[in-house]
Structure formats: C-alpha cells, structure tokens
Amino acid sequence: MQSVNQWRHVFKLDPAKEIDDDSLEKVCESGTDAIMVGGSTGVTFDNTVRLLSRVRRFAVPCCLEVSQLDAVVPGFDLYLVPVVLNAGSPEWIIGSHVRGLKEYGPFVPWEQVMVEGYVVLNDDSSVAGVTESRHPGGLKDVKAYAQLADRLLKLPIFYMEYSGTYGDPEWVKEVKKTLTDSRLFYGGGIKNAEQAEEMAHYADTVVVGNIIYEDVNQALQTVEGVKSAGTPL
Ligand code: 1GP
C-alpha cells in the first residue's frame, strides 16, 4: 500500500450515510489515493463492516478513522486515531484512547496505527458539537496548535478540520509553513475541482467528504483538481 505520506487526495465515506453501488464504484475507481471511513455520529460496528466489505471490491486502500470504540472493525489497511487538540472534553483528547487501550491494548496492530492531531475550525460542525471543541481564535492560535502537534507531540498528521464549510486558504498556507514534520491534512467544504486545487497548493492531503453524497460527479472532479495542483508548498 502507498504510504500516507504519498496521499494527496482522500475521499471520506461516512458509514452512517447511504451510498449506492454505482456511486461507490465511481468514488473507489476515481484515482483517489485512499478511502477513509469515518463519521461523527451514527457510526456502528455493523455499518462500518458493511461499508468496508463494499469498498474491498476495489483495489483502493481503505483506512478507518476511529471515533467509536465499539465500531473498530478489523481488516482495514490503516487505523487513524484522532486526538482533538482543541476539544472541550478530555474524552476526545485522551479519554476514550485510554479506555480503548485498557480493553484492547494487547491486540492493537501498532504498525497499522497513526495519530491525527485535529484542530476543529468550524463551530457549527457536528464534530465540533460532539467533541465540544473550542475555536482556537486567530491564525496565531492555530499555528500554535500546529506547533504543538508537530514539534511538541511529534504527531505524524496535523488535520485542519473545517468539516462542512470551506476554510481559509491563507490559514492553510501559513500553517503549512509552520510545520516541519507533520503532514498537513485539510478537510472541509470542498465542492469542486477549483477548491480542491486551491487547498492542495498548501495541504499535503486534501480530504473530501460531504459532496460525495450531494453530487458524486462533482466530487469526482476534486481528484483531478488536487492532481493539477502539483507538489504542495
Ligand atoms: C470531514 O474533513 C472532512 O471530516 C471533509 O469535510 O465533509 O465538508 O468535505 P467535508
């Protein structure tokens, strides 16, 4: 499997949402670098297994973004574990992680696990609601979070999560300049090739979610958009 460090474009599929076979095939065969399975609400073991087995009909790598301990399904290529750095509740920073390790620690396939340091930047998103995240404030604050993830905690991924709304490309650009080792993931509100390309100039990996369920053909164009951006800053 291609390493995460080579992923430029990722489609995020929500197990709690319906997608027909034809659309799923288009998404999986789109040339995207990976499918990320994850969502903030309604994710269960059953709907996650179902989605994994449907995605497995295609060659695309498939990773699980772990958000529910009881919905961790074996058989994914990779497990991305979010640590929501600006969560209001410690549950989303270390709480569920410690509980999970207490229960499943001996069985964790560590070579298939990566941590994502999230900063949630859209107060109206469901991820903000679930994690009780607090908006960091200004760009300076977000850059401090980026340094926290990159230099202090040495997390492999720093994720600017604007879920549901298109973020500020200038912020993404400035954050990218701040990072030394962490890979920058951007996700939120991408609806067309132009937006995907714009964010891909700065973010290492661009994550596209909701538009898949709103207009799949429009979603497919984001793959080309990211490719035309070339190498990020
Ligand atoms: C959500 O970052 C992803 O976790 C993608 O956001 O659904 O708004 O595209 P959208």
Q: Using CA atoms, how far apart are residues 10 and 148, in angstroms rounded to an integer? A: 24
In the chain, the number of structural domains is 1
Name beta bridge partners: 164: none
pLDDT score for 182: 98
What values do phi and psi take at 137, rounded to 5?
A: 120, -115
pLDDT of residue 212: 98
Q: What is the CATH number of the domain that holds 199?
A: 3.20.20.390
Distance 138 CA to ligand 1 centre (A): 21
Task: Name every protein residue with a CB atom under 6 angstroms from any ligand 1 atom.
Answer: 12, 161, 163-164, 187-190, 207-211
The CB density around residue 11, as the number of other CB atoms within 10 Å, is 24
* Closest atom of ligand 1 to CA, residue 189: 8
pLDDT at 1: 63
Indicate which atom in ligand 1 lies nearest the CA of residue 65: 4
Which residues 6+ apart lie within 8 Å of 107 measured at CB? none
57, 22 Cβ separation under 8 angstroms: no
User: What residues are paired with 65 via a beta bridge?
Assistant: 80
Q: Residue with the nearest Cα to atom 4 of ligand 1?
A: 163
Distance (Å, whole) CA 157 – CA 80: 9
The pLDDT score that the predictor gives to residue 103 is: 92
Residue 154 lies in domain: 4-229
User: Which one of 65, 163, 191 would you pick to mutate in the ligand 1 pocket, going by the greatest count of ligand atoms within 8 A of its CB?
Assistant: 163
Give the distance (Å) from ligand 1 centre to CA of residue 188. 4
Report the chain (233 residues): mean pLDDT per 10 consecutive residues: 90 98 98 97 97 98 95 96 97 95 94 97 96 97 98 98 98 98 98 98 98 98 97 92
How many beta carbons lie within 10 A of that of residue 232, not counting itself?
20
